[in-house]
Structure formats: structure tokens, C-alpha cells
């Protein structure tokens, strides 16, 4: 049976959601983050990098959210949650599927990093680290993040979902950046269409079922 190696409060929540949307049976193996928020070493027995998400199925071990989504859609989707080939919607689908981790998450991760650095710095160095972090956030990270959020807002003004008028796995992939931006990037300020997108995905029954199985989920906090 397909097995999801699920780390709490992580990107693997999207994999559970996709499987619930497809109605594919799976086994859930849970892993708990350590106090420093890192994944436990037990995950390295599944994949050398010891990170989540990762699935095992029919002798295959597959990591990386985009690769997992492509595998699950190709193996179990039967044409669902993906636009038809050779259509503008399919091209948009492919773009957003890769953009989510390739571009969108970079400023969000930097935002988290520069926010945490002053809190974790030694007391004597904290004022200096805070000054450097604030400068990086103001001059580099926050403008980039706003550019991405404005981009999402504009694209969601063209269609209800990222790939077009129909909900697809690209929306599942894009959920994590938007949820992270809501948690720590100020998405709620001036981006009503992006916030409406989050309301729509959170109202989906499969999203709720995935939360019930995966456990508490507070991205970006």
C-alpha cells in the first residue's frame, strides 16, 4: 500500500490533502518534530535527506512535493485534478506546480530566517543581529514578498483557481506559500482574492479530512 511518511506541521500535509481529494487509500506513518523544529533522524531511514514529504509506493521512494504530486496524479489521478494536455490551462498548471517551491517559498523562508535570528542570537550579539536582520527584511525580503503576493492577487483576478476555472493539484501545491504568507507575510493586507482562495480551499471536505488525519497544522508560526 502507498505510505505517506508524515512529519507534523509540514509540507506533507499537502500530500494527505491530495490523496483525500483523489480518494486513494494510504497508510500514514507519523513523525514528530524535535524541539528545534527539525525532523527526527528516523526519517533518514526512509530518504537520505531525512525530510518530509516523502512517500513509498510499489518499491519507489519519492520525495519533493512537486515530484510526489506528479507521481500521484499520473499513477492514481485518471485525468482528475489536472487540465487536459496541450491546453493553456495545462501550461499554467505546470508553471504553478513548480513555481510554488522554486520561487514563491524563497522570500518566505528568508522572512522566517531573519525573524528568528535575533531571537536565537546570544544576548550580547542580539542588538547587532536584530539590526542586520531588520535591514535585510526592509531592503530585500519584504519588497520581494510583496511582489509575489501582488502577483498572486493579479493572477487570481483572472480565474478562480491558479490554472484556470477548475480546481487542480496546482492549487494544492500553491496552498503552502499562501498559507505561509498569511501567517507571516501580511497577505491579508490588500490581497482579497488571495484570501478568498484560502477560504475556498479551507472549506473543501478533503482539506478537512487531511487535517483530521495529519494533526494540527500551523504553517509559518
**Residue 221: per-residue pLDDT:** 44
The answer to whether 108 and 177 are in contact (CB under 8 A) is: yes
The answer to whether 111 and 142 are in contact (CB under 8 A) is: yes
Q: Could you give all domains of the chain from N- to C-terminal order, each with its CATH number?
A: 3-82+207-214 (3.40.30.10), 88-204 (1.20.1050.10)
Q: List pLDDT tens digits, range 126-176.
A: 888 889 888 998 999 999 999 999 999 999 999 999 999 999 999 999 999
What's the mean per-residue pLDDT of the chain? 93
The arithmetic mean of pLDDT across residues 173-190, rounded, is: 95
H or E stretch at 27: strand 27-31
Q: List pLDDT tens digits, range 136-146.
A: 989 999 999 99
* Pick from 72, 64, 58, 67: nearest CA to 17: 72
CA distance 129 to 15: 37
Amino acid at each position: 500500500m502507498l505510505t505517506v511518511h508524515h512529519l507534523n506541521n509540514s509540507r506533507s500535509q499537502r500530500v494527505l490533502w491530495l490523496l483525500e481529494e483523489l480518494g486513494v487509500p494510504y497508510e500514514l506513518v507519523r513523525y514528530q518534530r524535535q524541539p528545534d523544529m527539525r525532523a527526527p533522524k528516523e526519517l533518514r531511514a526512509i530518504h537520505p535527506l531525512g525530510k518530509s514529504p516523502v512517500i513509498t509506493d510499489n518499491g519507489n521512494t519519492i520525495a519533493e512535493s512537486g515530484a510526489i504530486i506528479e507521481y500521484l496524479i499520473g499513477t492514481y489521478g485518471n485525468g482528475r485534478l489536472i487540465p487536459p494536455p496541450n491546453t493553456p490551462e495545462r501550461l499554467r498548471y505546470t508553471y504553478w506546480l513548480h513555481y510554488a517551491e522554486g520561487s514563491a517559498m524563497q522570500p518566505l523562508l528568508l522572512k522566517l530566517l531573519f525573524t528568528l535570528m535575533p531571537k536565537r542570537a546570544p544576548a550580547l550579539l542580539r542588538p547587532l543581529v536584530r539590526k542586520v536582520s531588520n535591514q535585510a527584511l526592509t531592503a530585500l525580503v519584504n519588497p520581494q514578498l510583496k511582489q509575489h503576493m501582488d502577483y498572486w492577487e493579479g493572477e487570481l483576478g483572472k480565474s478562480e483557481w491558479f490554472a484556470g476555472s477548475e480546481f487542480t493539484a496546482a492549487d494544492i501545491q500553491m496552498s503552502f506559500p499562501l498559507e505561509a504568507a498569511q501567517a507571516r507575510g501580511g497577505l491579508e493586507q490588500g490581497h482579497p482574492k488571495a484570501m478568498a482562495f484560502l477560504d475556498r480551499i479551507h472549506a473543501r471536505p478533503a482539506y478537512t479530512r487531511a487535517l483530521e488525519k495529519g494533526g494540527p497544522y500551523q504553517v509559518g508560526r
